[in-house]
Amino acid sequence: MSDELPEPRQRAVPSGRVSRLGQFGRLAGGVAGGMLAEGARRLAAGERPRISDMLLTPGNIGRLADRLSHLRGAAMKLGQMISMDAGDFLPLELAQVMARLRDNAHHMPPQQLQQVLAAQWGKDWRTRFRRFEPRPIAAASIGQVHRAITHDGRSLAIKVQYPGIRESIDADVDNVATLLRVSGLLPKELDVAPLLAEAKRQLADEADYGREGAQMTLFGKLLADNPNVIVPQLDEEFTTTSVLAMSFVEGQPIESLVAAPQATRDAVMTTLIMLVLRELFEFGVMQTDPNFANYRFQAETGRLVLLDFGAARTVGGETARAYRRLLQAGLDEDRAGVREAAVAAGFLGTGAVDGHGERVNRMIDIVLGEMHRPGPFDFGDRRFVGGLRELGTTIAADKAAWHVPPADILFVQRKISGTALLAARLEARVDVRALARDALAPRAILGVK
Residues tagged active-site: 289
Query: By the 8 A CB rule, do 10 and 161 touch?
Result: no
State the SS3 of 214-256. Answer: HHHHHHHHHCCCCCCEECCCECHHHCCCCEEEEECCCCEEHHH
CA distance to 252, 253, 436, per residue, from 430 (Å) = 22, 21, 11
Query: By the 8 A CB rule, do 267 and 302 touch?
Result: yes
**Nearest alpha carbon to residue 210 among 244, 235, 257:** 244
Residues 6+ apart with CB under 8 A from 202: 288, 311, 313, 411
Query: By the 8 A CB rule, do 351 and 401 touch?
Result: yes
CA distance to 40, 308, 422, 430, 439, per residue, from 145 (Å) = 44, 11, 23, 33, 35
Grouping H, G, I as helix, E, B as strand and the rest as coil, residue 151 is coil
Query: By the 8 A CB rule, do 256 and 297 touch?
Result: yes
Report how far residue 338's alpha carbon sits from residue 342's, in angstroms, rounded to the nearest whole number.
6
Q: Which helix (H) or strand (E) holds 288?
A: none
Burial-class residue 312 by CB neighbours within 10 Å (0-12, 13-18, 19+): buried
**Nearest alpha carbon to residue 232 among 119, 147, 289, 142:** 147
